[in-house]
Amino acid sequence: MLTPHPHLISRRALLVGAAAAGLVGTAPFAALAKAPLLGTPMPGYYRFKIGSIEATIVSDGPLTLGPPASFFTGATKADLEKMLADNFLPPDNIVVQQNALVVNTGDKLVLFDTGMGSAKIFGPSSGRLLANLKAAGLDPQDFDAVVLTHAHPDHCWGLMDGGTRHFPNAQIYMSEADLTFWTDEAKLGIAEIKPFIEGTRAQLLPNRERIVLVKDGQEVLPGIQALSAPGHTVGHTIYMIASQGQTLCYTGDVTHHAVISYTTPRVEFAYDTDPKLGVTTRLKTLDMLATDRTAFLAYHLPFPGIGHVVKQGEAYRFVAAPLQTVL
């Protein structure tokens, strides 16, 4: 909520002042150039270059997660709420974005992560990826590859809808560990993750023959290298994208929140399959990105989620990259 500035002068006070100064005639000018409110948001995509690669961050819309203390553990409720309030964020409800990445290498058109698809388990505002791809001038038919960081709903449930492939010509790249874990029939008996397993089986199993399994350190596509970054899931993988001496790291869910994950990187995240390993991977990855001054994209940070990280003692600070208005 924005509050009026105390020094704002009312229109009436201005007119009275102008009349007193002899500036207003007997037939005051009536301003008629009234325009309707447009009600349209900013574009849900952002385009930039990585060397000769054309990159486009495409939003799948926000996810509403609820009170921070219910899934961030290792800091008190009061500390979490203060961290959020100090950063002008609502203290009682975490909202995160979904920043998927498209890269066009000139030879291959590649999408990293797919968003939630039509599922609304984290609120009504997700599922915008296809509309935003269209707005960005990108046709789902043209994609050669969909690369997954991991097999959570907000990263892979946009592959299919009701048996229809959204990216019918794409190979799918992901780790074997995540494919095995999140399609495991035996886990249908675990109540907390049963809906995730069911939904992910419906996304991945019909595409099994299209899936290419990626290994740690492998160049999966020209200029795109996979790096194992487990903890958030057993096979969580990040990707280094390089061209002409420039590099962007696509970090998936190594971090989840622009304040909490950086100010208190040791705070554990309840959606991590192995929260302690998630912390280890977060510290290792942020250290690497800070030391090498590598630009990165974090899937859940405020749109478009691209920037750098600075180490400050035991903490880190995310520094958003200045947005370019000229390509």
Footprint of Zn ion (CB under 5 A):
154, 253
Q: Which is nearer to Zn ion, 105 or 268 (CB)?
A: 268
Q: Give CA separation, 283 vs 69, 129, 222, 235, in Å.
A: 21, 30, 28, 17
Residue 16 near residue 295, CB atoms below 8 Å: no
Q: Report the nearest approach of Zn ion to the CB of residue 285 (Å).
A: 15
Cis upstream peptide for 4 (omega within 30°): no
Q: Which is nearer to Zn ion, 154 or 272 (CB)?
A: 154
Q: Which is nearer to Zn ion, 223 or 300 (CB)?
A: 300
Q: Report the nearest approach of Zn ion to the CB of residue 82 (Å).
A: 25
109 three-state secondary structure: strand
Length of the chain in residues, anyone? 327
Q: 246-250 and 295-297 as β-strands: parallel, antiparallel, unpaired?
A: parallel
Calpha distance 105→82 (Å, rounded): 43
Q: Which is nearer to Zn ion, 223 or 296 (CB)?
A: 296
Q: Report the nearest approach of Zn ion to the CB of residue 303 (Å).
A: 14
Which sign does the torsion angle of CA 190, 191, 193, 195 carry? positive
Q: Report the nearest approach of Zn ion to the CB of residue 293 (Å).
A: 25
Q: Which is nearer to Zn ion, 178 or 253 (CB)?
A: 253
Paired tokens of 269: 């995240």
Q: Report the nearest approach of Zn ion to the CB of residue 253 (Å).
A: 4
